[in-house]
């Protein structure tokens, strides 16, 4: 089979199964909504959700912009801070002993419990939502990058030491390039968590965003709009996840590596 034919076949094998599964679920929900006797505010028909999505597209797009902006900013900060923390943890053992337990504590604390405190410190607006997105997203970046920095072949490190390479040379020439696939894998996890943190922030400290729209419409029993907002959230998650993966894969290939 030629390379020209393998590409479409691989794409079809990747896209068709989840697409068919999703369409099957939609058909079941459509049948329940039309013939199951359930009220629309409990099980809205997928056709009604799509109609609502089209009718209220400007409102959904505006709220989607706020959610996407906060997610991307929180994620970007998480990547920068996560990589810097990982470098510090691997490079300096006292820093590792001092910081690693605190990172675990910061991760296990429920972020919903932190949200009211952030409102007190930062007020209502984008800032507390960005901080929540960052707090949820940075941990997998740190863990995966540390794993990549430490997974260098010991024989190669011994060779570099025998050649009297400096610690900065080992870091920039060997450890960081070796950690790139691991960091990208962590970033792919982090972008999905950043979206979750954004929605949590919108539930507690938001005035705009899809989380606010979901909260308002569900309280009004406007479940068709709620599901339309959930579809928009799913699309944002898929696009950002694929975007991070594609960008990370491109960078890894430029460095001669591959994404895990």
Confidence of residue 128 (pLDDT cuts 50, 70, 90): confident
Taking the C-alpha atoms of residue 144 and residue 137, their distance in angstroms, rounded to an integer, is 12
Residue 243 has what pLDDT? Answer: 92
Count the neighbouring beta carbons within 10 Å of the beta carbon of residue 220.
11
Cβ–Cβ under 8 Å, residues 53 and 223: no
Least confident span in 38-52, 132-146, 160-174, 207-221: 160-174
238 in any annotated domain: yes
Dmax (CA) of the chain: 77
In this structure, are 71 and 149 located in the same domain? Answer: yes
Kindly state whether residues 82 and 182 are assigned to the same domain.
yes
Give the pLDDT confidence score for residue 259 in this predicted structure: 54
pLDDT bin (cut points 50, 70, 90) of residue 257 is low
Please tell me whether residues 245 and 165 are part of one structural domain. Answer: yes
Residues 133, 179 within the same domain? yes
Sorted by sequence, the CB contacts under 8 Å of residue 121 that are 6+ apart come out as 128
60 in a domain, yes or no?
yes
Statement: residue 177 has pLDDT above 60: yes
Helix 176-205 crosses helix 126-150 at what angle (to 10 degrees)?
A: 160
Same domain, 14 and 63: no
Q: Judge if 125 and 205 occupy the same domain.
A: yes
Which domain, by its residues, includes 20? 1-38
Domain annotation covers residue 259: no
pLDDT at 188 > cutoff 60: yes
CA dihedral 4, 9, 11, 16 (to 10 degrees): 160
């Amino acid at each position: 089979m030629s390379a020209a034919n393998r590409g479409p076949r691989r794409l079809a094998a990747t896209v068709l199964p989840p697409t068919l599964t999703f369409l099957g679920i939609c058909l079941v929900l459509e049948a329940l909504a039309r013939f199951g006797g359930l009220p629309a505010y409990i099980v809205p028909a997928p056709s009604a959700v799509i109609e609502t999505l089209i009718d209220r597209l400007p409102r959904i797009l505006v709220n989607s912009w706020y959610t996407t902006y906060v997610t991307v900013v929180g994620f970007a900060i998480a990547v920068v801070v996560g990589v810097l923390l990982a470098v510090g943890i691997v490079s300096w053992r006292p820093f590792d002993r001092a910081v690693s337990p605190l990172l675990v504590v910061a991760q296990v604390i429920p972020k919903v419990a932190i949200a009211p405190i952030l409102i007190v410190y930062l007020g209502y607006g984008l800032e507390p939502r960005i901080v929540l997105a960052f707090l949820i997203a940075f941990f997998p970046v740190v863990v995966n990058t540390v794993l990549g920095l430490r997974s260098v072949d010991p024989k190669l490190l011994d060779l570099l030491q025998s050649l009297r390479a400096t610690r900065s040379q080992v870091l920039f020439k060997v450890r960081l390039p070796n950690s790139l696939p691991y960091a990208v894998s962590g970033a792919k996890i982090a972008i999905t968590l950043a979206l979750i943190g954004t929605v949590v922030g919108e539930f507690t400290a938001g005035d705009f965003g899809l989380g606010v729209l979901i909260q308002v419409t569900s309280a009004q029993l406007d479940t068709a709009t709620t599901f339309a907002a959930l579809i928009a959230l799913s699309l944002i998650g898929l696009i950002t996840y694929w975007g991070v993966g594609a960008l990370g894969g491109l960078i890894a290939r430029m460095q001669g590596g591959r994404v895990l």
